[in-house]
Structure 1
Amino acid sequence: MPRGPIPVAMVVDNLGRNGIAAYVLNTCSQLDHKQIAPFIVVGGGVDSANAAQAKAMGIPIIALPNRKRHPVAYLHKLSQILRAQRPQIVHVHGNSRTMALELSVAKRCHCSARIAHSHNSTCDHKLLHRLLKPVFVRSYTHGLACGSKAGRWLFEDRPFAIAPNGIDVAHFLFDGQTRECTRAELGLEGKFVIGHVGGLNTQKNQAFLIASFEQVAQRDSQAVLLLVGAGPLEAELKRQVASSPFISRILFYGPSEDPSKLYQAMDMFALPSLFEGLPISLLEAQSAGLPCLVANNIDSDVVLTNQVTALPLEAGTQAWAQEIARIRQSAQTHSRSQQQAQELRSIDTTHTARVLLNQYQSFLSLPSES
């Protein structure tokens, strides 16, 4: 094994409030920094809370020119950084073959291991994704994916390994006192709270969830929809809600740096995404012991408990409303504290970071940890 920790460049499009940023920070928090010396290279915005978290962990963030607005300057600066820092591993995170840009730069900089890491099961620029395939397959040395579906999307029939998303499970476990306090703060005592955590964007499909909730609300006067997050569709969704007869029962909480207490306040979790990789919010909701209703396009790798129900979006809002009502009848708050730790062990960051460390060592042909 080489002297000193292995330098690893974690390359991300941005370090905002999103799943990739959460994965990178959660993983870096648990990696043994005597063995791995990570630094984060960012081609976009950096959320202040994420910056503070990285600083507290002693992990440098190197901000480059904006990847989308100034791609030439971005790639030139990335080359300079890699030549100066000389990381043995360049770990590029994304959801399309545009990662070939960063990986090709890393190849020219003679980085030993160049990892393409898929975090989703589709992308917004499919034509470019297809056109870049020949460059992409020559640019990386190892493929990782958050789940099977995300891996097949990016690598097709080429090999890849699973590097599962992880969270601090203990932080999200059910706590009755936190539940009571949070529900009191939000004025939710006696309500049936349908919760959702995610960016307000097309992928997460909140318009569908709002329409489903309205059908629930017609028959259930205690039902409340709690939307946690922010994003480009916030104004549009608020206009949709403004004309709803149930506007007072649809709550836009906004973004949360730590949504753990909000999961405690919920009675169920809903995720009608159009597509996903391995959603961290669903891991958090399961850790909190919540019954979950999700779109059936979500990778089965993320289903860890018997409290997850998958339903096609094609079934429509009425079917989703009926399933929410069924969950309402069967949900029991006291059972949330009985969640089996063994079911959740595989998603705890202590485990997922160890998996990644072993993969790093394998990629460099070093002895792995048991």
Structure 2
Amino acid sequence: MSPHILHVFDHSVPLHSGYTFRSANILRGQRRLGWQVSALTGPKQGRSTRAEESVDDLAFFRTPLPSGLVARLPAINQWAVIRATERRLLEVARRLRPDLLHAHSPVLNASAALRVGRRLGIPVVYEIRAFWEDAAVDHGTQRAWGPRYRLTRSMETRAVNAASQVVTICEGLRGDLIARGIPEAKIGVVPNAVDADQFSFGGAADPALKDALGLGGARVIGFLGSFYAYEGLDLLIAALPRILDHAPDVKLLLVGGGPQEAALKAQAQAMQLAERVIFVGRVPHAEVSRYYDIVDLLAYPRHAMRLTDLVTPLKPLEAMAQGRLLIASDVGGHRELITDGATGVLFRAEDIGDLARKAVATLDLPDQGAALRANARRYVEQERTWARSVDNYKTIYGRALNATL
């Protein structure tokens, strides 16, 4: 059977995020399997002048922004998002007649897809990339285990129970659902991955770029990504004086931006580290590899919390694909990706002393940690390619459709 899958995403390319890159790779990977694949984005894609839009080789149906008083009221406006997505999805599904609806986080998409699926008699697969309520706690829009948190968690559990099959991106999320009483056989895992062919192993640093950034002659510890609180970049800055005590030639390079950017700059200034912490801002996607190439050690110091214990990030995989040395906090999401001492180095989460010690020791490894870097690249090539990950949908969709794919 060659199924027709209609995906429902929160947002997509041309917006750049780990979410959109995963979505694009899923669509391309399923097409390579010979499946017919369509995609719709909800209102959070933003205002669009076209009902249908092509981005590179991918086509998307767009959903108009909801209007009226309900769309402007805090909290209640999320119901407007569900209703707008439901109306657009019903229209598209009637036109395309897909075999399966595949809704991706957040639960708003699942709620809309389940309503359309029941109306049209189409099975629904729900893919959870993170628990929306835990992300909201980190962003400061919900209080852990407060009323809104519990409501969102309840919506998530109801959606999981109602879906034909459920997908998670890692074992941490799967384990949490099993603890809620969801049958193990109902939950498949399609882990994050990378296209290893798009990443060159150990690219050479560009001396001109290093000099332009004031990094000439320095060993560079770096982070490339979004500056969210859970990423723990405040811990990395706090650990820098201890690192400098043993490695005075080190500078810290932070590439990207986000909600914590101003606070991180203020922290570096207050600690009199402004000349040691280089903020580059966001760079074009095509230029990212140049910045990776000037980093000697990538750092992922995520804070310990439910979000980081349950969810695996994508950025360490990109670093491993390039054969980069990396250190990371030992939160659950990192432990699922990184084997300490084999493909990377883990330090005790929240412990800036251990972070500093591990950073210095890793920078000082003989042969620049050649064995670690080679192991990391091999792990990605053998275990974490998109072709291997996307292949897992065969079993998951087969169960939902009661068919062999």
TM range, normalised to the smaller chain? Answer: 0.7 to 0.9
Structure-to-structure mapping, 1:1-370, within 5 angstroms: 1=1, 6-12=4-10, 16-32=15-31, 34-45=34-45, 55-65=55-65, 68=78, 70-71=80-81, 72-94=83-105, 97-98=107-108, 100-110=110-120, 112-120=122-130, 122-124=134-136, 125=142, 126-132=149-155, 135-156=158-179, 157-158=181-182, 159=184, 160-177=187-204, 182-184=209-211, 186-256=213-283, 257-258=285-286, 259-274=288-303, 275-276=307-308, 277-299=311-333, 300-303=335-338, 306-314=342-350, 316-330=351-365, 332-333=367-368, 335=370, 338-339=374-375, 342-345=378-381, 346-357=383-394, 359-368=396-405
> In structure 2, what is the Cα distance between the partners aligned to 1:180 and 1:54?
38
Which 5+ residue runs of structure 1 have no aligned equivalent?
A: none
> In structure 1, what is the Cα distance between the partners aligned to 2:378 and 2:353?
35
Q: Check the 8 A contact 2:326/2:345 in 1, yes or no.
A: yes
Question: What is the Cα deviation at residue 179 of structure 1?
Answer: 5.3
> In structure 2, what is the Cα distance between the partners aligned to 1:207 and 1:151?
30
Could you give the per-residue CA deviations for residues 249-274 of structure 1, whole angstroms, max 9, x where no partner exists? 21222223242332222111111223
Paired residue total? 360
The one-letter amino acid paired with 1:303 is I
> In structure 1, what is the Cα distance between the partners aligned to 2:54 and 2:314?
19
Decide which moves more: 67-76 or 351-360: 67-76
> In structure 1, what is the Cα distance between the partners aligned to 2:393 and 2:96?
21
- Local SS of the residue matching 1:152: helix
> In structure 2, what is the Cα distance between the partners aligned to 1:194 and 1:47?
38
Match of 2:71 in 1: none
> In structure 2, what is the Cα distance between the partners aligned to 1:216 and 1:120?
33
> In structure 2, what is the Cα distance between the partners aligned to 1:185 and 1:357?
49
> In structure 2, what is the Cα distance between the partners aligned to 1:30 and 1:364?
19
> In structure 2, what is the Cα distance between the partners aligned to 1:172 and 1:111?
43
Q: Check the 8 A contact 1:145/1:162 in 2, yes or no.
A: yes
Q: Check the 8 A contact 2:78/2:108 in 1, yes or no.
A: no
Decide which moves more: 244-253 or 99-108: 99-108
Could you give the per-residue CA deviations for residues 4-54 of structure 1, whole angstroms, max 9, x where no partner exists? x61322322566433221211122233326423231323313699xxxx96
Q: Check the 8 A contact 2:221/2:252 in 1, yes or no.
A: yes
> In structure 1, what is the Cα distance between the partners aligned to 2:119 and 2:209?
51
The one-letter amino acid paired with 1:7 is I
Normalized against structure 2, the TM-score is what?
0.77
Could you give the per-residue CA deviations for residues 280-333 of structure 1, whole angstroms, max 9, x where no partner exists? 10101111222222121133332268132222324x212211211111211644
The one-letter amino acid paired with 2:19 is I
> Superposition RMSD on alpha carbons, in Å?
3.1
Q: Check the 8 A contact 2:11/2:20 in 1, yes or no.
A: no
> In structure 1, what is the Cα distance between the partners aligned to 2:94 and 2:399?
23
> In structure 2, what is the Cα distance between the partners aligned to 1:46 and 1:167?
27
Could you give the per-residue CA deviations for residues 195-229 of structure 1, whole angstroms, max 9, x where no partner exists? 11221112212212211223323443211111122
Decide which moves more: 114-123 or 286-295: 114-123
> In structure 1, what is the Cα distance between the partners aligned to 2:363 and 2:227?
25
* Structure-2 change in CA distance of 1:304 and 1:137 (3 Å): same
Question: What is the Cα deviation at residue 99 of structure 1?
Answer: 5.0
Question: What is the Cα deviation at residue 144 of structure 1?
Answer: 0.8
Decide which moves more: 54-63 or 178-187: 178-187
> In structure 1, what is the Cα distance between the partners aligned to 2:162 and 2:373?
47
- Local SS of the residue matching 2:204: helix
- Local SS of the residue matching 1:283: helix
Q: Check the 8 A contact 1:215/1:321 in 2, yes or no.
A: yes
Q: Check the 8 A contact 1:143/1:155 in 2, yes or no.
A: no
Normalized against structure 1, the TM-score is what?
0.84
> In structure 2, what is the Cα distance between the partners aligned to 1:304 and 1:64?
45
> In structure 2, what is the Cα distance between the partners aligned to 1:106 and 1:181?
55
Q: Check the 8 A contact 2:63/2:85 in 1, yes or no.
A: no
Could you give the per-residue CA deviations for residues 153-177 of structure 1, whole angstroms, max 9, x where no partner exists? 3453422111011211122232443
Decide which moves more: 296-305 or 192-201: 296-305
Q: Check the 8 A contact 2:86/2:116 in 1, yes or no.
A: no
Decide which moves more: 35-44 or 18-27: 35-44
The one-letter amino acid paired with 2:322 is A
Decide which moves more: 179-188 or 268-277: 179-188
The one-letter amino acid paired with 1:130 is R
Could you give the per-residue CA deviations for residues 103-161 of structure 1, whole angstroms, max 9, x where no partner exists? 43233333533122121364425322333256324421111111100222345342211
